[in-house]
């Protein structure tokens, strides 16, 4: 469903200058990073590649600043890639013109963020229907679809409420309902539960897994928390300094960490388990 190769993002430099810096084949990653910085840019993602099969939850994990959001946002070109190829649901994403890109975002790729921008003057139902409205679906139909999506996330009776009347966890449910209502091929989730209290966060993780059990969606899920990545991810990709350090199942990562960086996450996790 998703196929990415050599995906690279240089922030802060004109495209031709960035491309010239990337075209030096003998540079190792450290040299490339330093050369981009010396030129006044920043290498946000460097030569990233991965594949996500239909129905998988692919967790992208790493410390703050490791390039997770950059990679996620290049998948629908909210961040414009500097180099590399991206295929999502059969589309060559980098080749799309503006109209094609709009269609991709409105029909094939849904997104859920950490801080979801709900419209405060509109009801929860209208908020959940927003993606369908953008698509031009008639009002009665989109509100009915929004109600179905709200029921799936446990907010069947809150459609008439205003967002301000909901808790933080319920607001994230509305964000999820909005993404689900459009029935996208791919769901991109950028730390969607990170701002929530631990118990609510756990509830949301369980909700996501139960929605997956009902109907499998293809999800790319960004998190800085290895526990969350292990709980949700069919496979996990670990990033550092814009690069992929390790990809594999949870068992592979726990059993054979690729380097000290990954080993430190695993040791931290084991330490927390021992303390609990």
User: Binding ligand ATP by CB under 6 A: which of 42, 50, 113, 261?
Assistant: 42
The residue (of 67 and 131) whose beta carbon lies closer to ligand ATP is 67
Rounded to the nearest whole angstrom, what is the least distance from the CB of residue 120 to ligand ATP in the complex?
25
Residue 53 tokens, joined:
């099969």
In this structure, are residues 133 and 154 in contact, taking their beta carbons and an 8 Å threshold?
A: no
Q: What whole-number distance in Å separates Cα of residue 169 and Cα of residue 15?
A: 40
Stretch that binds ligand ATP, among 65-73, 94-102, 118-126, 256-264 (CB under 6 A): 65-73
Stretch that binds ligand ATP, among 61-69, 162-170, 206-214, 226-234 (CB under 6 A): 61-69
- Show Cβ contacts of residue 62 under 8 Å, excluding neighbours closer than 6 positions: 68, 224, 238, 239, 240, 245
Residue 159 found at the interface with ligand ATP (CB under 6 A): no
Taking the CA atoms of residue 191, residue 197, residue 199 and residue 205 in that order, the dihedral angle to the nearest 10 degrees is -10
**Sheet of 235-240, strand order:** 109-113, 186-190, 218-223, 57-61, 235-240, 243-248
User: Binding ligand ATP by CB under 6 A: which of 10, 67, 189, 234?
Assistant: 67
The residue (of 71 and 204) whose beta carbon lies closer to ligand ATP is 71
Over the window 221 to 260, marking each residue x when it contacts ligand ATP by CB under 6 A and - when it does not, the resulting string is: ---x------------------------------------
Which helix (H) or strand (E) covers residue 145, if one does? helix 139-152
Tell me, letter by letter, the H, E, C secondary structure of 19-59.
HHHHCCCCCCHHHHHHHHHHCCCEEEEEEEEEEECCCCEEE
Residue 261 found at the interface with ligand ATP (CB under 6 A): no
Residue 192 found at the interface with ligand ATP (CB under 6 A): no
Q: Taking Cα atoms as reference points, which of 150, 169, 168 lies closest to residue 158?
A: 150
Residue 172 found at the interface with ligand ATP (CB under 6 A): no
In this structure, are residues 55 and 216 in contact, taking their beta carbons and an 8 Å threshold?
A: yes
User: Binding ligand ATP by CB under 6 A: which of 32, 68, 158, 243?
Assistant: 68
Q: What whole-number distance in Å separates Cα of residue 215 and Cα of residue 8?
A: 33
Residue 64 found at the interface with ligand ATP (CB under 6 A): yes
Residue 113 found at the interface with ligand ATP (CB under 6 A): no
Residue 23 found at the interface with ligand ATP (CB under 6 A): no
Rounded to the nearest whole angstrom, what is the least distance from the CB of residue 223 to ligand ATP in the complex?
9
Binding residues with ligand ATP: total (CB under 6 A): 13
Strands 186-190 and 109-113: parallel
Q: Provide the binding-site residues for ligand ATP, judged by CB under 6 A.
A: 11-12, 42, 44, 62, 64-70, 224
């Amino acid at each position: 469903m998703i196929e990415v190769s050599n995906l690279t993002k240089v922030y802060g430099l004109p495209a031709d200058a960035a491309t010239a810096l990337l075209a030096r084949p003998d540079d190792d990653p450290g040299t490339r990073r330093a050369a981009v910085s010396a030129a006044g840019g920043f290498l946000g993602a460097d030569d990233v590649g991965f594949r996500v099969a239909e129905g998988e939850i692919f967790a992208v994990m790493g410390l703050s600043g490791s390039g997770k959001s950059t990679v996620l946002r290049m998948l629908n070109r909210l961040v414009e890639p500097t180099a590399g190829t991206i295929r999502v649901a059969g589309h060559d994403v980098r080749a799309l013109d503006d109209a094609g890109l709009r269609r991709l975002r409105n029909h094939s790729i849904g997104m859920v963020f950490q801080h979801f921008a709900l419209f405060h003057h509109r009801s929860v139902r209208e908020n959940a229907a927003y993606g369908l409205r953008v698509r031009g679906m008639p009002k009665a139909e989109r509100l009915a679809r929004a109600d179905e999506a709200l029921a799936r996330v446990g907010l069947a009776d809150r459609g008439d409420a205003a967002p301000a009347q909901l808790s933080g966890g319920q607001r994230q449910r509305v964000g999820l309902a909005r993404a689900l209502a459009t029935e996208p091929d791919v769901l991109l989730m950028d730390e969607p539960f990170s701002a929530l209290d631990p118990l609510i966060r756990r509830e949301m993780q369980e909700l996501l897994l139960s929605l997956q059990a009902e109907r499998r969606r293809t999800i790319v899920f960004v998190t800085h928390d290895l526990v969350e990545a292990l709980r949700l991810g069919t496979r996990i990709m670990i990033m550092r300094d814009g690069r992929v350090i390790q990809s594999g199942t949870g068992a592979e990562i726990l059993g054979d960490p690729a380097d000290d960086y990954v080993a430190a996450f695993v040791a931290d996790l084991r330490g927390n388990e021992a303390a609990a």
